[in-house]
Each structure stands twice: as structure tokens, then as C-alpha cells.
């Protein structure tokens, strides 16, 4: 087949790259400006228990970094502002700092970035002209140690570095920093494959401009778009991110990624003397989640809504912005704990950004493993199932308005059209519940995605409705589509995230060897991986959604095993990585059930397969720089049969 012949090494590299790049990750800022926090070892256990895989700290605390060893949690460490002048003028000092605070802890602690300073432009005690020289010296020190690919250098800037932030397309960096600092900084970031770190706080912007910015726009739940040319903004976060993108582009750097170094919403308190935010835009003051107090925007309800909006958006893969629809979104939520020494006033919002109280109890529900967090009392355990249903009490007019919004903003409402499979019962309540739930599920079950101005609510028992928006469906090649059209669409699907390994020559689903059969397999993989969005089964008319399971290979069992030919040293490196990043390696420890045979290839096969299965058998999860291979016959390691999660 033409497809099989064209899927050579270059295409496989492209496929693996696109699978790895089309994602975001969400972590937390672990601040320690408090006198009542738990010890770092307990904090690391808290991170692990809650599925938090990425953390940023505001120094290079030895106890924290030691506690993170062998956890697989990625850490961004920070060179404090007071060190910048010395690091800028003395490369030997910068090299020693890197040796003492980065190299010393690798590879057991997975340090993946160094933040050189923090919001330097807003610190009157730091000469901003020292920032880029310090970054260059730190980066050179990493390069000299062979760490430049694994550990990136960046610096967090406050959003106040951007001027004229609305409309986003007109945004620029401040005149005092644009040419002398930002341009050489962006040159360094581009040259080294690094990213700009920016701290953005839509909630604080709204709190200081409540008459200009609707609260739902700040929380990511706006039902009316703010326009900038052809771009439509339904969240202030997107507008501020794109303002940063446009500011970089104005200096000629349109391909540098922006990472959210801090974002969050206070759970209580007054805004006090927090730095003034950049100007936003809005139409009217609306307090959708006011739960009392002198400043109702600073509330548990709003913190829960905003942070769940961000967490669930990243985990669902909905990471693009109107200006950069294909952008990744890597985020550090601020902050892990309420920190009681950030301000002398206990009611200042600065003390109240935590996800947890210092006793390690959650302040509100959230879930870093996916599945949303919301109001009410969900059942115990991770990723509790939930649904969004209509509230009959608001009346048909408000239900119709919200129904129209949901259907116009991503909900798949085809089944509730006349003659559709869920048209009956033909009532506003039934149709609205279907549309609301489709919108809610497609937005990662974020609390803010089931508001609809009070017309909907989240429930934790499956609703008694005739139809469910989660009805199983599949995407297949449309009968009558020509071979050339199918081949083009097949290549697109395999190149944009579909796992097409099983339809390669020798793969478990290679037969029948026809374009239509291979296209159906690839289309369905792409469709399922994109949340069964209707648009993900279009393929310019070559795909069709069906509601009866077709007879193609959809969930073939597969395993990941070691390639002994790479040698024991490479196998050991990959084995350590797998065990440190989620594979359960207890059975291959001395005395474990799968310790025998005690050799690198057997132990590596066990670990690789554990990592591969835990990552949903994604092809990239069995790469290990060439040390792993996917097989379709169940292998054995000694007396241990390797498991598969295929269902």
C-alpha cells in the first residue's frame, strides 16, 4: 500500500514529535513564606497523592530538592534576585551556582528548568540590565556540563511588562525594556529552545477593574465574546496570553513559547496593595459566584472555578488561544498553600492563594489527574464521574438562550435535531440537559463549564435522561470516498496524533490491507483522542460518525519490551527513567515476584511495559531513545506475564 511505503523514518519522527508536543502540563508553585507549613518530605507525598507532576520553587532549597528525588516530579528551581548581579558579572560564580544547585541533584531529582530571578522588572533593588547577562552565564554553565538540552533557562516576568494589553493584537513590551532587555532575552530563548515565563492573574485584574471586566470573563466562563478583529475571546486569560504573544511577535519572535509561571485566584481577602494589573476590557459588572464578604470576588467559589478552569483545560488538551490555536499551555498554579507571612494583614489576598491549608487539607475540590473539580460534595476517590443538567426552574426562555450558547460553542447537538437519536423527548429541559452535558464533558468537566448563568448544575449520580451526550460513537471511512481522498485523510490523521502503529506491515490490524480499512482505523483513533468532537471526524467529507461499533481493530492489546541490542548502560538509563516516572517497579526489586531473571533486559522490559500501559499505550511512551519496542504478542519475563490495559 502507498500508506505503508510512505510511513518511513522521517514520518515516524514527525508522528512521535507531534504526539509529544500536542500537550500541556499543569503544576504548582511551592512557596514557603509562612511559619506553619509541613516539612518538605510531607509536601512531596502530598504532591504525589494528588497527581501533581510539576513544581516551581522560589530558590534551590536543598531539603526540597532532596525530597523530590526519585519521584519523577519535574522541578523548576530559581536563582534569587539578589544573586543576579554576581552571576551577570562573573561566569565562574554562575557555573558554581549551577554545580551546587542543579548538577548536584541530577539525575535523581528531575530539575528541568532554572528561573533566573523573579519579576525582575518590578523589583527596585535589581538592575534590570543584569538579567540577560546572568541568564546567558547560567545557560553557558549548563551547556558546559552537557545539561543544556535537559534543563532550560528562563525568567518569570510580571504581566505588567506588557503595555497596551487590549486589544491583544496591539500589545507591546514596555518601552524601557523592549529593546534593551526583552529582545536579547528572546534571542537567547529562541537560540536555546527555551520559553518565556509570564505571570498572569485575570482574577486580580478583574478585582481592580470590576466595572470594566465581567467576572465570568475573568473566570473563563464568558458567554459573550470580546472581539479583536476576527479573534473571539471568551476568557481574559486567553486575551492576556495573546497580548504576550503579540508583544513577542512585535520584536520578531513569533515562535517562542509562553509558559504560565504563575496564575491563580485568591480564596479570600482584600486586594490590599498588590501591584496594579494591566488594563483589560469588559462591559458590565457581574458577580456570578459571590459567596459573601466585603470583596465577593475573592472567594472560595471563584478560586475553585478559575483554578479548575485552568487545570481541566490543560488536562483536556484545549490549550490553544485565538491567536495561537495550536499552542501548548504549560501552567504553574499559584499556589500550593496559603502562606501567612506574605503580608502582615491576614486578610490580604496575598496570604490566601492556596490550593491547600497548611494542614494539607484541600480548600476546595480539584483534580490534577483529570475529571474536573467542582462544587457540591462529589463521591470520594479520584476523577469522580459527574454530569451537567439543566435547571427547570429558570424557565424555557433562559434554557433556550443557554442551549443556543452551548450548541454554538462546541457542544455536539446533532442528536437533538429533528430526526436525531435524542430528539425525543422534545422538551427544552431534555434538549438543554443534553447540550449542557456535551459542553461540560468536552471542556474537561470544569466547574465553570456548567454554569450557564445559573441555568445548570453539576450532579454526581447519572441523570435519568433518555439520551446521554456520552453515547458511544466511532468514526469510519465514508462509503464511496475515493482512494486518493482517503489516503490524504489517512496521512493527516496519522500525522496529527492517531496511533497508526497497528496498521503498519506486520501490525496486528494491517489486514485487511485496504485504504478504506486502514483509514477507518486511523480516523477512529484520531476521533477518540480528540474527545469524539464532531469536527474530528470530518476529514473534508471522508469520515462518518456511526453509533454501532464497527468491526475493525479498535483496542488491540500491545506491550512494550526492551531492545537488548542497545546495551546494558542505555537500558539502565531508560529503566531508571521509567521507574521514576510512573512505572510500578516493585516487582523487579530484590525479593519481588519478577526479580528473576536478574538481568537488565528483563527488568527493563518489565519497567518499560509498566510505563507504556500507564500512558495509555501511546507510541511515544515506548520509545526510550530507541531502547524500547512495541510487540503484539504477550511477552513473558521469566515466570511473569506482562499485562496490557487493552479493553
Which are the catalytic amino acids?
Answer: 119, 262
Residues near 148 by Cβ (< 8 Å), separated by ≥ 6?
Answer: 139, 142, 192
**In angstroms, rounded to a whole number, what is the distance separating the alpha carbons of residues 212 and 165?**
14
The H-assigned helical ranges of 317-413 are 396-408
25 touches 330 (CB < 8 A): yes
549 touches 474 (CB < 8 A): yes
Dihedral (CA of 28, 34, 36, 38) sign: positive
Closest to 28 in 3D by CA, of 339, 449, 341: 339
* Helical pair 483-495 and 515-529, crossing angle rounded to 10 deg: 40
Q: What is the dihedral of CA 611, 615, 619, 625, to 10 degrees?
A: -40
155 touches 121 (CB < 8 A): no
547 touches 473 (CB < 8 A): yes
What is the secondary structure of 547-593 as a DSSP string? SS--SS--S---EEEE-GGG-HHHHHHHHHHHHHTT---GGGSTTST
> Cell match 445559573: residue?
454
**In angstroms, rounded to a whole number, what is the distance separating the alpha carbons of residues 404 and 413?**
10
Question: How far is CA 257 from its chain centroid?
Answer: 14
**In angstroms, rounded to a whole number, what is the distance separating the alpha carbons of residues 581 and 490?**
32
Closest to 255 in 3D by CA, of 327, 310, 311: 327
**In angstroms, rounded to a whole number, what is the distance separating the alpha carbons of residues 310 and 321?**
13
What's the N-to-C CA distance of the chain in angstroms? 29
Amino acid at each position: 500500500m502507498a500508506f505503508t511505503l510512505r510511513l518511513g523514518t522521517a514520518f515516524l519522527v514527525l508522528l512521535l514529535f507531534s504526539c509529544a508536543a500536542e500537550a500541556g502540563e499543569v503544576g504548582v508553585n511551592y512557596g514557603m513564606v509562612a511559619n506553619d507549613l509541613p516539612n518538605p518530605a510531607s509536601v512531596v507525598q502530598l504532591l504525589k497523592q494528588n497527581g501533581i507532576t510539576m513544581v516551581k520553587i522560589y530558590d534551590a532549597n536543598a531539603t526540597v530538592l532532596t525530597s523530590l528525588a526519585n519521584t519523577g516530579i519535574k522541578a523548576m528551581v530559581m536563582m534569587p534576585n539578589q544573586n543576579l548581579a554576581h552571576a551577570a558579572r562573573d561566569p565562574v560564580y554562575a557555573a558554581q551556582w549551577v554545580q551546587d544547585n542543579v548538577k548536584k541533584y541530577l539525575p535523581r531529582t528531575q530539575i528541568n528548568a532554572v528561573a533566573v530571578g523573579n519579576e525582575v522588572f518590578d523589583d527596585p533593588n535589581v538592575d534590570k540590565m543584569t538579567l540577560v547577562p546572568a541568564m546567558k552565564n547560567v545557560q553557558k554553565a549548563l551547556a558546559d556540563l552537557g545539561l543544556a538540552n535537559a534543563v532550560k533557562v528562563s525568567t518569570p516576568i510580571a504581566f505588567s511588562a506588557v503595555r497596551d494589553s487590549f486589544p491583544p493584537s496591539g500589545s507591546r513590551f514596555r518601552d524601557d525594556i523592549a529593546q534593551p532587555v526583552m529582545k536579547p532575552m528572546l534571542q537567547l530563548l529562541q537560540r536555546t529552545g527555551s520559553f518565556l515565563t509570564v505571570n498572569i492573574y485575570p482574577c486580580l485584574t478583574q478585582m481592580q477593574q470590576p466595572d470594566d471586566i465581567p467576572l465570568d470573563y475573568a473566570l473563563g466562563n464568558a458567554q459573550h465574546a470580546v472581539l479583536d478583529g476576527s479573534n473571539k475571546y471568551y476568557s481574559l486569560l486567553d486575551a492576556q496570553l495573546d497580548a504576550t504573544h503579540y508583544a513577542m511577535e512585535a520584536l520578531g519572535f513569533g515562535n517562542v513559547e509562553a509558559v504560565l509561571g504563575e496564575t491563580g485566584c485568591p480564596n479570600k481577602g482584600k486586594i490590599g496593595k498588590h501591584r496594579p494589573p494591566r488594563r483589560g476590557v469588559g462591559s458590565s459588572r457581574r458577580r456570578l459566584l459571590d459567596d459573601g464578604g466585603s470583596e465577593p470576588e475573592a472567594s472560595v467559589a471563584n478560586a475553585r472555578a478559575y483554578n479548575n478552569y485552568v487545570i481541566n483545560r490543560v488536562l483536556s488538551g484545549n490549550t490553544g488561544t485565538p491567536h495561537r490555536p495550536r499552542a501548548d499551555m504549560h501552567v504553574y498554579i499559584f499556589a500550593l498553600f496559603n502562606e501567612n507571612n506574605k503580608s502582615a494583614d491576614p486578610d490580604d489576598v496575598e496570604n490566601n492563594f492556596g490550593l491547600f491549608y497548611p494542614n494539607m487539607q484541600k480548600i476546595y475540590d480539584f483534580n490534577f489527574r483529570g475529571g474536573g473539580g467542582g462544587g457540591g460534595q462529589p463521591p470520594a476517590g479520584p476523577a469522580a464521574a459527574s454530569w451537567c443538567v439543566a435547571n427547570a426552574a429558570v424557565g424555557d426562555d433562559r434554557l433556550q438562550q443557554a442551549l443556543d450558547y452551548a450548541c454554538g460553542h462546541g457542544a455536539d447537538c446533532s442528536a437533538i435535531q429533528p430526526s436525531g437519536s435524542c430528539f425525543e423527548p422534545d422538551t427544552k429541559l431534555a434538549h438543554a440537559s443534553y447540550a449542557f452535558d456535551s459542553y461540560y464533558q468536552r471542556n474537561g468537566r470544569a466547574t465553570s463549564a456548567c454554569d450557564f448563568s445559573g441555568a445548570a448544575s453539576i450532579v454526581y449520580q447519572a441523570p435519568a435522561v433518555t439520551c446521554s451526550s456520552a453515547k458511544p460513537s466511532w468514526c469510519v471511512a465514508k462509503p464511496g470516498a475515493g482512494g486518493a481522498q482517503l489516503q490524504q485523510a489517512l496521512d493527516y490523521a496519522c500525522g496529527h496524533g492517531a496511533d497508526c502503529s497497528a496498521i503498519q506491515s506486520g501490525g496486528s490490524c494491517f489486514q485487511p490491507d485496504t485504504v478504506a480499512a486502514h483509514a477507518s482505523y486511523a480516523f477512529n483513533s484520531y476521533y477518540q483522542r480528540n474527545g469524539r468532537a464532531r469536527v474530528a471526524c470530518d476529514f473534508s467529507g471522508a469520515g462518518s460518525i456511526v453509533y454501532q461499533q464497527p468491526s475493525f481493530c479498535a483496542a488491540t492489546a500491545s506491550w512494550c519490551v526492551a531492545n537488548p541490542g542497545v546495551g546494558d548502560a542505555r537500558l539502565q538509563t531508560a529503566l531508571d527513567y521509567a521507574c521514576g516516572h510512573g512505572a510500578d517497579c516493585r516487582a523487579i526489586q530484590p525479593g519481588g515476584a519478577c526479580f528473576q531473571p536478574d538481568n537488565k533486559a528483563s527488568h527493563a522490559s518489565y519497567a518499560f511495559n509498566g510505563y507504556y500501559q500507564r500512558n495509555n499505550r501511546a507510541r511515544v511512551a515506548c520509545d526510550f531513545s530507541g531502547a524500547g519496542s512495541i510487540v503484539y504478542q504477550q511477552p513473558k519475563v521469566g515466570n511473569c506475564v506482562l499485562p496490557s490495559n487493552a479493553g
